[in-house]
């Protein structure tokens, strides 16, 4: 069972570059989330989606964009990378029938 798959696992960007973090799940979950994890700060919600075509901002959305064209995929876009976006990014999914979130293994991003 693949679960939630994130790519890439590691990436280094230069300031001002753009990139897309990919996330896909094979559990037919309606809900999907993007979190960032910084030392001593826990996980902060960036964006979330309750279904295909529906997205909404979380706690720290500035500098990011998302789309949800299919149930399976929920990519996170960084348009102009900044050092403040250096973090570990986690994608997660869940279903309305179960409060448990399933997490991907994370993407470690450094912006230099």
Distance CA 23, CA 40 (A): 25
| CB contact at 8 A, 93 and 29 | yes
| CB contact at 8 A, 89 and 75 | no
> Please, which residue, 18 or 84, has the CB nearer to another protein?
84
Q: What mask of x and - would describe binding to another protein in positions 48 to 87, judged by CB under 8 A?
A: x-x-------x-----------------------------
Tell me which residues touch another protein (CB under 8 A): 4, 31, 33, 35, 40-45, 48, 50, 58, 90, 92, 94, 96, 99-101, 103-106
């Amino acid at each position: 069972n693949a679960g939630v798959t994130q790519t890439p696992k590691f990436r280094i960007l230069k300031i001002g570059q753009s990139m897309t973090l990919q996330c896909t799940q094979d559990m037919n979950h309606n809900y999907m989330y993007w979190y960032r994890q910084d030392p001593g700060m826990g996980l902060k919600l960036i964006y979330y989606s309750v279904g295909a075509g529906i997205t909404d901002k979380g706690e720290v959305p500035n500098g990011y964009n998302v789309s949800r064209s299919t149930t399976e995929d929920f990519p996170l876009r960084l348009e102009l990378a900044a050092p403040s976006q250096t973090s570990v990014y986690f994608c997660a999914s869940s279903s309305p029938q179960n409060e448990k979130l399933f997490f991907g293994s994370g993407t470690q991003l450094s912006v230099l």
